Structure 1
Amino acid sequence: MTESKLRKRKTKRYDDEVIYAAKFLYLKKYTPKEIAEELGLNSTRPIYYWAEKYNWRNLISESGIEELIALRIITLTERENKSVQEIKELEALIDKDIQYKKQRAATVAKVTAKSAVNSADVSGNERAFADSGDGDERKKKKRVKNDISHVTPEMCQPFIDSLFDYQKHIRANKHNDVRNILKSRQIGATYYFSFEALEDAIFSGDNQIFLSASKRQAEIFKNYIVKMAREYFAVELTGNPIILSNGAELHFLSTNKNTSQGNSGHVYGDEYAWIRDFQQFNDVASAMATHAKWRETYFSTPSSKFHESYSFWSGDNWRDGDPKRKNIPFPTFTELRDGGRLCPDGQWRYVVTIEDALKGGADTLFNIDKLKQRYSKYAFNQLYMCVWIDDADSIFTIHQLLKCGVDISKWKDFNPKADRPFGDREVWGGFDPAHSGDGASFVIIAPPALPGEKYRLLERYQWNGLSYVYQANQIRALYEKYNMTYIGIDATGVGYGVYELVKEFARRAATAIIYNPESKTGMVLKVHDLVEHGQIEWSESELDIVPSFLMIKHQSTKSGNTMTFTAERTVKTQHADVFFAICNAINKKSLSDKPRKRRGWSVLSGN
């Protein structure tokens, strides 16, 4: 048989769905070995062959790698119970992220300021640390902990040159007492403010305080600062708080009632619109920046108009209770996008959407068309266009939902890295199929088995643009890892194909759910009851679960005789997929089920 016929026969062993799934994983930076294991292939050879044949390598640009690194950093930062390997990976990724940005800075410097780069007064500082002789001489001297005495403003210039226009604009407005920035996701805000604070601490000696909703989130500031000091200034920073040789302190704190005691300095508050108790957060932040010399900087993606942070952003909390302020106008959203404005309440507000970021030079980091394809219009506007969620008609409140977010490191019976993550404990699965281009969602729910336990969302997955076969295979893999006694699948339309495939390996567990006003109402009420009574939990890092729930609204059916629930699941507003996946899993629960109460025990003694 000829070589061409052999190649043709080998290619036919795999259908287009498998090749498409392999390409999807390849572009997500899976290794050929990982792809083969994921898809159940016996060899990595087909992966290499397809990558060459279909030119996959050229689809990953240098800018794409930088974007993937940023996404991976966010994923690992938000992950609870990180393994030793994941901690090492996070540190390595931050190192790599800073190196890429430094390389980009060097490129900019060569093009725009070649003479300055080559001049002795600038490059001399850099060579002082590159020269091995000077390095040996420094080693002979007794080192001072966190010594930054050698750092000069010129050493900061490569970083400054690498900034995008909107970051430079934020920097130019550093003098404002309060900066309030509404931003798109992943535009480098945490990265920039980490350097700004480090630079300010070095040259002014002022304290810097990073205040986040959780200690874990605050640590990402510390990681960036440690890496930046090493990369740009050849300084190894240690300690927590970090105390520089000039006495400046850098604190990395979470929001709790005792945080502000004894601490004062310039405050950076991130993702403030997603903090459960915003008023406490705001009180803590302002208390630490009471003195006139201290600045406050707040930045976040928007959440709900019913969250306390919305009145902080809109200025309503400043107007409240003062008739003279009631009708004082604030700058429009368009004006705030156009360079920001100093507002009547003394805050400098600035809006940076993803479109603004692209215009400001970040076009090498984002593919806006892919993001629009990946997310619904509703989700895209909220995550990337700085639009606050209007949830006035929602059956849920954001305050109820934020209380459901917890630190899942407290779940000692759950280890997502184990072969059996939840042991032999019972779990329920829920599948919501893709609708007109949005992603399919699958969740794993742990029902309470012991008194005092709540329903817990252990894991969630979203599969975009992949075949029924692939999705069913993913469910099979999870079915084999867990003691999954129930799998609720929306089989009303496109989900029926997945149901048929799942039924082949999980006949007893697989349950087809046919949506109609009655069945939908029953499922939504079950979940609503759990949220209202605080009987369901998920990871506090899963920020997009809240908008998914807020999409659910109460409305009449076409006949007007019945009330039902809708998420306006049209092409423009698909976003509630994770909510319905949870509904499909919770469908196993009876509406009359009540949480098991803890029992008190006493020992009676007799004579």
Structure 2
Amino acid sequence: MAYADETIDLCRKLYLRRYRVPEIVKQTGVPRRTVYCWINRYSWDDLLQTETPLEEASRRLAVLFGMESKTDAHFKEIENLITSIDRLNAIYTRTKQTVKKQSMEPANDSDVNNDQESRPARRRKAREKKKQNDFSGIDADVIKKKFFDGLFRYQTELWDARVHRIRNLLKSRQIGATYYFAREAFADALLEGRNKIFLSASRAQADTFRDYIQGFSQEWFDCELKGRDKIKIHSDAGVSTLYFLSTNSATAQSYHGDTYMDEYFWIPHFTRLNTVASAMATQKQYRKTYFSTPSAMSHTAYPFWSMDQFNERKRRLNQPLESMPGFKELQSGILCPDGQYRKIITIHDAEAGGCDLFDIEQLQLEYGPDEFAQLFECQFIDDSASEFTLAMLEPCAVDRAEWRDFKPDMERPFGNRPVWIGYDPSRTRDGATITVVAPPLENGGRFRVLEKITLQNAAWAYQAASIHDLTKKYNVQYIGIDVTGPGTGVFELVKNFYPAATPIVYSVETKTRLVLKAKDVISNGRLQYDASWSDIPAGFMSIRRTTTGSGQLTYVADRSERTGHADAAWSLMHALMNERLDFQNRRQSRYLIPE
């Protein structure tokens, strides 16, 4: 039987992540004999030889942590691996200290005489083979000056808080948190020589960390950093490695170093991932940093933030419970009883700290009150009254980089596969959102959000032109446009180049159909979007049921002519509605053969 390249590649990746052959067979369905044949034919064992025993044990431990169901043999293997890793760390530490001590001892006369002739050759060789990503010889004061130039006050406060082992930051959107922590990690790696591990909701977010750091290296020292998922840098403090990982449990390996977890309130299965992340920073020299905009109080990370998780342990031990500091105390930054340094930075705190990048009055016009509070004032969503709960939406968040048939950098990212487009217009001051969705190829399959475009204060012609550009990139087979109010102008322009565009006129019946269709798709696990697009689940969670003045049931999300809300969610629903509610009962085409 011939297997697709994707299947072989998946088996190879699992094997290199220290999955056993029986485990690969269970996950992929490929026969054991075939997997062993590929191991020999493609020399996969040779690829494993580049790892140290410590890396090998850590990689296997990460695989076991990520397994949904574990046997007694798995738990026993976990215990053995943890013991082995502790011993290997101790051995490596002692070896490093011995080498350092020997390098500081003066050489005897015989060594000097024996080495005298070879020194010029060694120097020439060293010049010819300069180490990659080498920052040796740069003074610590120079690094600190580069780092502090241009920082806002609240960012320097985060630098001072590095003395705490665990930092937990609840923050407003767009205050530069990812930018700051990438900057901090790079400077600290040069100054202290410790590894850094970045965990993000998706590959795209992990790449943002890497791009920032490569930008700092170029800007500060005119040095082009080489590397993608792993970058090794040399400095006077030693050799440190920067790891850029997504939150997929199969790729978040058990490396060791300071860990940074970005937008953790939007990461599915946070508790399981945090177990792996904590193992990476087990040694007391390492620090853990968590930062995120808030999602819903029902998220599994909320007890971690609110100290409920800490108090639950104390409750089981019959110990007195601790109180969570108040909002005002957290805005100042405070070390809490559970050992975490917590801080809240709202958009108002950022402005008071010197950030002049926002027009807050304008933002309050662009967003509804609830949405503004969640996005910019660090208020959690209570999704108990929402039509879409976080528990429903979490399984939809995936890493878009895992889609092998979608290549966003290509001229035709999705080849000739069909796509549907949903458009939600801008009102007086809010943004328009365009969503590109790949429909399922068969009944009951998954919808995938390939692309999401937000346009702020753009003219109708520009919005229509953006949709026109998408028709050149994709094989567009449906465009749904809300023509209630300002969407009419865009619709008229779109019809000039896409006459089949579908107008959507909002009414009680239309909104009910949109919401019911979306609930059916989401509750049945038929929707996927990139985990970094937090505005999609936030928009869905803001939609609630209400009644009109005449008593009719309808759905609202604080939408009005002045304030738009849940734009990404409505735009997505405009695309989903192209599939009928009763799609499973759609008549299948048949050929009649005459007698």
What TM bracket, shorter-length normalisation? Answer: 0.5 to 0.7
Which 5+ residue runs of structure 2 have no aligned equivalent? 1-122, 587-595
Q: Give me the whole-angstrom Cα distance separating, in 2, the residues matched to 1:268 and 1:420.
A: 35
Deviations 1:417-457 (A, max 9, x none): 66655455443333333344322333333322247742223
The match for 2:140 among 153, 156, 162 is 153
Q: Give me the whole-angstrom Cα distance separating, in 2, the residues matched to 1:413 and 1:424.
A: 11
Q: Report the counterpart of residue 377 of structure 2 in structure 1.
A: 385
Q: Residues 444 and 265 of structure 1: is their aligned pair in 2 closer, same or farther, counting only changes over 3 Å?
A: closer
Q: Residues 537 and 259 of structure 1: is their aligned pair in 2 closer, same or farther, counting only changes over 3 Å?
A: closer
Q: Report the counterpart of residue 331 of structure 1 in structure 2.
A: 325
Q: Give me the whole-angstrom Cα distance separating, in 1, the residues matched to 2:497 and 2:216.
A: 51
Whichever residue aligns with residue 228 of structure 1, its letter is: F
1:180 is paired with a residue whose SS is strand
Partners of 1:207 and 1:249 within 8 A in 2: yes
1:362 is paired with a residue whose SS is coil
Structure 1 residue 180 corresponds to structure 2 residue 149? no
How far did residue 296 of structure 1 move? 1.3
Q: Report the counterpart of residue 48 of structure 2 in structure 1.
A: none
Q: Residues 244 and 446 of structure 1: is their aligned pair in 2 closer, same or farther, counting only changes over 3 Å?
A: same
Q: Report the counterpart of residue 511 of structure 2 in structure 1.
A: 520
Partners of 1:182 and 1:350 within 8 A in 2: yes
Partners of 1:146 and 1:238 within 8 A in 2: yes
Q: Report the counterpart of residue 495 of structure 1 in structure 2.
A: 487
Structure 1 residue 312 corresponds to structure 2 residue 304? yes
Question: Which stretch shows the higher mean deviation, 159-168 or 429-438?
Answer: 429-438
1:537 is paired with a residue whose SS is strand
- % same residue: 44
Whichever residue aligns with residue 510 of structure 1, its letter is: A
| Length, aligned pairs only | 457
Structure 1 residue 253 corresponds to structure 2 residue 249? no
Q: Residues 517 and 231 of structure 1: is their aligned pair in 2 closer, same or farther, counting only changes over 3 Å?
A: closer
Q: Give me the whole-angstrom Cα distance separating, in 1, the residues matched to 2:328 and 2:562.
A: 23
How far did residue 169 of structure 1 move? 1.0
Whichever residue aligns with residue 181 of structure 1, its letter is: L
- 1:1-400 aligned at under 5 Å gives the runs 140=127, 143-144=130-131, 146-162=133-149, 163-229=151-217, 231-232=219-220, 238=226, 240-242=230-232, 244=234, 246-257=238-249, 263-320=255-312, 322-323=314-315, 328-337=322-331, 339-363=332-356, 365-400=357-392
Q: Give me the whole-angstrom Cα distance separating, in 2, the residues matched to 1:260 and 1:414.
A: 23
Normalising to structure 2: TM-score of the pair?
0.68
Question: Which stretch shows the higher mean deviation, 228-237 or 401-410?
Answer: 228-237
The match for 2:396 among 404, 429, 444 is 404
Structure 1 residue 438 corresponds to structure 2 residue 430? yes
Structure 1 residue 578 corresponds to structure 2 residue 568? yes
How far did residue 473 of structure 1 move? 4.7
1:320 is paired with a residue whose SS is helix
Whichever residue aligns with residue 212 of structure 1, its letter is: S
Whichever residue aligns with residue 278 of structure 1, its letter is: F
Q: Residues 252 and 502 of structure 1: is their aligned pair in 2 closer, same or farther, counting only changes over 3 Å?
A: closer
Q: Give me the whole-angstrom Cα distance separating, in 1, the residues matched to 2:471 and 2:253.
A: 49
Question: Which stretch shows the higher mean deviation, 314-323 or 222-231?
Answer: 222-231
Q: Residues 138 and 331 of structure 1: is their aligned pair in 2 closer, same or farther, counting only changes over 3 Å?
A: farther
1:174 is paired with a residue whose SS is helix
Partners of 1:378 and 1:575 within 8 A in 2: no
Q: Report the counterpart of residue 551 of structure 1 in structure 2.
A: 542
Whichever residue aligns with residue 156 of structure 1, its letter is: I
How far did residue 341 of structure 1 move? 0.9
Partners of 2:254 and 2:279 within 8 A in 1: no
Partners of 2:204 and 2:532 within 8 A in 1: no
Q: Give me the whole-angstrom Cα distance separating, in 1, the residues matched to 2:218 and 2:406.
A: 37
How far did residue 287 of structure 1 move? 1.3
Cα RMSD of the aligned pairs, angstroms, is 3.4
Q: Residues 401 and 345 of structure 1: is their aligned pair in 2 closer, same or farther, counting only changes over 3 Å?
A: same
Q: Give me the whole-angstrom Cα distance separating, in 1, the residues matched to 2:191 and 2:412.
A: 52
Whichever residue aligns with residue 289 of structure 1, its letter is: A
Q: Report the counterpart of residue 460 of structure 1 in structure 2.
A: 452
Partners of 2:366 and 2:564 within 8 A in 1: no
Partners of 1:378 and 1:573 within 8 A in 2: no
Whichever residue aligns with residue 150 of structure 1, its letter is: G
Q: Residues 417 and 171 of structure 1: is their aligned pair in 2 closer, same or farther, counting only changes over 3 Å?
A: closer
Partners of 1:184 and 1:385 within 8 A in 2: yes
Q: Give me the whole-angstrom Cα distance separating, in 2, the residues matched to 1:228 and 1:468.
A: 38
Whichever residue aligns with residue 396 of structure 2, its letter is: C
1:349 is paired with a residue whose SS is strand
Q: Residues 595 and 232 of structure 1: is their aligned pair in 2 closer, same or farther, counting only changes over 3 Å?
A: farther
Q: Give me the whole-angstrom Cα distance separating, in 2, the residues matched to 1:265 and 1:213.
A: 19
Whichever residue aligns with residue 558 of structure 1, its letter is: G
1:298 is paired with a residue whose SS is strand
